[in-house]
Amino acid sequence: MQLVFHPAHLPLAVRSLEARIIGFDADWLRARWKIMGAGSLVVPPFAGKGRADGLWQTTCFELFLQPGGGPQYTEINLSPSERWNVYDFESRRKGVTERPMPREPRCAARLGTDMAIFDAAIPTAGLPAAPWRCGFTAVIEESGGHKSYWSLVHGSDAPDFHDPACFIAEVAAPSGA
Concatenating the DSSP letter of every residue in 121-168 gives: EEEGGGSPPSPEEEEEEEEEEEGGGEEEEEES---SSS--TT-GGG--
* Percent of the chain topping pLDDT 70: 98
Residues contacting residue 108 through CB under 8 Å, at least 6 positions apart:
118, 119, 120
CB count in 10 Å sphere of residue 95: 11
CA 98, 103, 109 angle in degrees (round to 5)? 95
User: Alpha helix locations (H) across the chain?
Assistant: none
Q: What's the whole-number mean pLDDT along residues 12-23?
A: 97
Domains of the chain (ranges; CATH) run 2-171 (2.60.40.1190)
- pLDDT tens figures, 29-72: 999 999 999 999 999 999 999 999 999 999 999 999 999 878 99
Q: By C-alpha distance, which of 75, 112, 117 is closest to 92?
A: 75
